[in-house]
Amino acid sequence: MPWWGWVCIGVFLLGAELFGIDAAFYLIFIGFAMIATGLIDLSAGGLHTWAQFMIFGSITIISMVTFRKRVYKKFRGVDTDLNIGPKGERILLEKNLPPGGEIRQRFRGSQWTIINEGQSELGAGTRVQISRVDGLNLIVGE
């Protein structure tokens, strides 16, 4: 690919991340690596295609692993760890759940083991909040 192709696509990806798409700063580093690859290709007087892709891949991986989390946190003010689990959601119990006991129940289309770590029995039809998730166990009643 010519050097200007790398630079054009890199600028497009940077602009897409900054002004339109929220890709958790992955496009920033891919765009940066493309621009850097184009400039290296320009200064080297034309590299083989395989060398260009090796440079691009190396810069992308090294910059993402080294800087992405810190840069994202600095610009967005939050960490990128997503809370996509069921912690904090409420579930309607189908059976009685004694203290320290467990039941099997469907939740979000899958079978889960629900464990009551509280001191009181939770009756069938009770809506309880999931306090934490431990593997495939939903912990309630804390």
Q: What is the mean pLDDT of residues 99-127?
A: 90
pLDDT exceeds cutoff 70 at 133? yes
Which of 54-58, 122-126, 131-135 ranks highest by mean pLDDT?
54-58
Phi, then psi, of 36 in degrees rounded to 5: -60, -40
Q: What is the mean pLDDT of residues 113-121?
A: 91
Per DSSP, helices labelled H in the chain are 3-19, 26-44, 49-76
Residue 97 DSSP one-character state: B
Identify the CATH assignment for 90-140 out of 2.40.50.140, 1.25.40.10, 1.10.10.10, 3.40.50.800. Answer: 2.40.50.140
Q: What is the mean pLDDT of residues 113-140?
A: 90
Range(s) for CATH 2.40.50.140 in the chain? 90-140
pTM of the predicted structure, to 2 decimals: 0.54
Instruction: Write the CA distances from 124 to 88, 97, 105, 106, integer angstroms.
Output: 20, 7, 12, 14
Provide the pLDDT for residue 79: 56
Q: Please choose, from the candidates 84, 66, 83, the residue with its C-alpha nearest in 3D space to the C-alpha of residue 25.
A: 66
Task: Please state, in angstroms and rounded to a whole number, the distance separating the CA atoms of residues 85 and 48.
Answer: 46
